[in-house]
Amino acid sequence: MLTIDEIRAIPLFSTLPDTELERLAHTSADLHLSPGEYAVHEGGERALYAVLSGKMEVVKRFDGVERTLGWRVPGTIFGEVPLALSSPFPGAYRAAEPSRVMRVDAQHYYALAAASSDVATRMGALARERIGGLQGLSAEPPKTRVTMIGARWDPACADLRQFLARNQISCEWLTPDAPELKSRWDGACPEDHACPTLRLADGTLLTRPTTREVAERLGLQTQPGRDEYDTLIIGGGPAGLAAAVYGASEGLRTIVVEREAPGGQAGTSSRIENYLGFPGGISGDELASRALQQAKRLGAEILVTRAVARIDTAAHAVHLDGGDVVRARTVILATGVAWRRLEIEGFDRFIGKGIYYGAARSEASGTHGLDVYLIGGGNSSGQAALYFASHARSVTLVLRGDSLEKKMSRYLVEQVAAQSNVSVELNTEVVGVYGDTHLTAIDMLNTANGSVSRRECGGLFVFIGADAQTDWLPPEIACDKRGYVLTGDDIVKAGRWSHRRDPWLLESSVPGIFACGDVRLSPVKRVASAVGEGSMAIAFVHRYLDEAPE
C-alpha cells in the first residue's frame, strides 16, 4: 500500500498538496518486481512510473539484439515520452534487482497535470530531454551483423540473404564486382569459388556456410534445451507461433521446430491489410517478428534450421534431422503448405537465378529498374505486386483466368488498378524461359488468340497455389489424397477413428496429435484463422493432458 510520504519522496511529486498525494496513493498501482521481471514491455501502453526502491534497467531491441539504454534508480520516473507523444513505450523497463515501482495510469496522470502546472512543466522538460536522447540513438549508424559477398545469381547467396532477412538479422550484401567492395571489406576479398563469404560483427569469416552454421554462429537456437516437452509444435508460421504463445503463457513446456525461419508463408507477405487490429496493415515479417518475441518472452523455445525426420507415435518421440530425439506428450502439426511447382522446360535451371516461388521482401531491392512478372491472381501475388511496384520499372500480373476479381480481395484489386506501373494480362500463361547464367526473357501465350510474345524479364515470381507436404508423416496420421491432415469429424467420416470418445475439432487420427493452420483440411486459408486455430489447439492439448496418464 502506497503512503503519502513515499510518494512525496519522488521529486516530481514533492510539491503536491496532501489532497493530490492522497489521490495518487489511492489510484496508483504498487508493483513489487523480482529481478528480471518487467514493469512494462516495449510497445506497452502509456503510463507514468516512479521507482520507489531497487533499480530498473532500460532495454530496447535493435536488429534483434537487446541493448541496455540506461537505468532508473529510486526517485526517478519513466513513461514521460509515451505520455508526451500519446504513443506506446519505445523501450522496456525491467528490474535489475528486487524493486518497487509506482504506476500512475494515463488518465490519472493527465488529471494530475491539469491540476498542477508544475508537474506538467517538469514532465514536459524531461520528455524533451529524453526524446532528444532517442533521436541521438536513431541517428547512430546501424551496426550490420553480417556482411556478405556473393554473386547476384548465386542461389546459395539468395537463400542466405532470405534466411537472414526472415530472422531479422541485418545484412550488407556486396557483389564480387561492386565498386565499393574494397572500402567495405577488410582484408583480401574472397575468390568467386569461395562465395558466398560472410563476415560477422565479431570478425568471424564463414565460407559457403549452411544456414544452420550461420544460425548457430549468430546465437539462434538450433538445439532443444530439454529432453521432454508438454507440447512440440512443428512449424513456425502464424498457427505455430500462436500455439507457442498460448502454450507458453499457460505454463506448458513448449518448443517450436522450424526448418527455416519463423513466419511461414505469411512471413513473406509484403503487406497484410485485413488482419484484425492493424488498420494500416502489417507486413508478414513484422507480424512474425512480434509473435516470435512474444513467444520467447513467455518461455517458448524456438528452434530454427531444424526439420522433423519422423514421428514415433507409440513412443511419443519426435526425431529431428541430425539424430536428436525429443519426447513430447502432445504434438501440434502446423507445417503449412509449400508453393506448387510449374512444369515448364528449363524452369528449374533458373530457380534462384531470376525465378522464385513466392516473394521474399529481400528480393525487392534486386528488381530496381527492371521489368518483373508475377504468375498468379490471389492475394499473395497482389500484395507482392504492390510491394515490387516501388522498386521495379514495371510489374505484370500474369493470369490464366479472365478476371482478377475471382481470387483476389476487392481492396487489393483496387490498389493494383491504381498503381501506374502495375499491369494485368488475362488469359495468359508463361510457356518458355530463356537465359544463360540467369533468366533474361520469357515467352507468354495468350490463350484467347493463340499468340506468343517474348518479353525481357528481370524476375519471375510464381504464386500458383500451394500444397501440403506431409508424405513424411507416419501412416497412423490420416490425410486426404492431397496430403491435408484430417481432423475432427473428417476422421470419423473417413473411418480412421477407433477410440471411445469422439475426436476433438483439431485432433488428428492419433490422439494427442493435433493439426492447425493451412496443413489441416479446411476450406478457410487465412492468417487470422491460422492464429485462431493455433490458440484453440492449446485448449485441446490441455484437455488431452488432463485425461492422459503421466
Cell of 421: 506501373
The tens digit of pLDDT for each residue in 110-143 reads 888 888 888 888 888 888 887 765 555 444 455 6
| 342 in a structural domain | no
Same domain? For 83 and 163 the reply is: no
Query: Do 417 and 435 touch, CB atoms closer than 8 A?
Result: no
| 363 in a structural domain | yes
**541 pLDDT above the threshold of 90:** yes
Other Cβ atoms less than 10 A from the Cβ of 317: the count is 16
This prediction has a pTM of: 0.80
- Helix, strand, coil % over all residues of the chain, rounded to 5: 30, 25, 40
Across the strands, what pairs with 206? 198
Domain count, the chain: 4
pLDDT of residue 549: 65
The tens digit of pLDDT for each residue in 206-227 reads 999 999 999 999 989 999 999 9
Same domain? For 110 and 9 the reply is: yes
Same domain? For 187 and 310 the reply is: no
Same domain? For 295 and 392 the reply is: no
Q: Which of 38-42, 124-128, 332-336, 362-366 has the lowest mean pLDDT?
A: 362-366
Of 29, 23, 31, 22, whose CA–CA distance to 4 is shortest?
Answer: 22
What is the DSSP track for 176-234?
TT-TTHHHHS-SPPPPGGG-SEEEETTS-EEES--HHHHHHHTT---S-S-SEEEEEEE
Same domain? For 433 and 472 the reply is: no
Give φ, ψ of 371 to 5 degrees.
-100, 115
pLDDT of residue 137: 45
Q: What is the mean pLDDT of residues 36-50?
A: 90
- Which of residues 115 and 102 earns the better pLDDT score? 102
The tens digit of pLDDT for each residue in 439-458 reads 999 999 999 999 999 999 99
Give the structural domain span for 168: 146-217
pLDDT of residue 332: 98
Residue 361 — very low, low, confident or very high, per pLDDT cuts 50/70/90? low
Q: Which of 137-141, 248-252, 295-299, 426-430 has the lowest mean pLDDT?
A: 137-141
Burial group, residue 18, by CB count within 10 angstroms (0-12, 13-18, 19+): exposed
Same domain? For 411 and 428 the reply is: yes
Same domain? For 162 and 240 the reply is: no
Q: What is the mean pLDDT of residues 250-254?
A: 96
**392 pLDDT above the threshold of 60:** yes
| 312 in a structural domain | yes
What is the DSSP track for 282-310?
B-HHHHHHHHHHHHHHTT-EEE-S--EEE
Domain at 153, CATH number: 3.40.30.10
pLDDT of residue 362: 65
Bridge-based pairing of strands 338-339 and 466-467 is antiparallel
Same domain? For 89 and 31 the reply is: yes
Q: Which one of 440, 466, 492 terminates a domain?
A: 466
**Dihedral of CA 499/504/506/512: which sign?**
negative
Apex 311 CA angle, 308 and 313, nearest 5: 160
Measured between alpha carbons, how far is residue 266 from residues 52, 54, 166, 240, 360 in Å? 44, 43, 11, 12, 10
pLDDT of residue 505: 96
Measured between alpha carbons, how far is residue 229 from residues 249, 314, 332 in Å? 14, 16, 12
Q: What is the mean pLDDT of residues 276-280?
A: 79
Other Cβ atoms less than 10 A from the Cβ of 118: the count is 12
| 506 in a structural domain | yes
pLDDT of residue 142: 56
| 222 in a structural domain | no
Q: Which one of 96, 122, 139 terminates a domain?
A: 139
Domain at 297, CATH number: 3.50.50.60
Same domain? For 385 and 457 the reply is: yes
| 56 in a structural domain | yes
Q: Which one of 139, 160, 175 terminates a domain?
A: 139
Residue 340 — very low, low, confident or very high, per pLDDT cuts 50/70/90? confident
- DSSP helix/strand/coil, 68: strand
Other Cβ atoms less than 10 A from the Cβ of 330: the count is 25
**51 pLDDT above the threshold of 60:** yes
d(CA 259, CA 37): 31
Same domain? For 374 and 300 the reply is: no
Measured between alpha carbons, how far is residue 20 from residues 31, 105, 261 in Å? 20, 15, 52
Q: Which of 99-103, 287-291, 410-414: highest mean pLDDT?
A: 99-103
Of 107, 82, 106, whose CA–CA distance to 92 is shortest?
Answer: 82
What is the DSSP track for 351-417?
BTTTEEES--GGGGGGGTT-EEEEE--SHHHHHHHHHHTTTSSEEEEE-SSS-STTTS-HHHHHHHH
Same domain? For 472 and 332 the reply is: yes
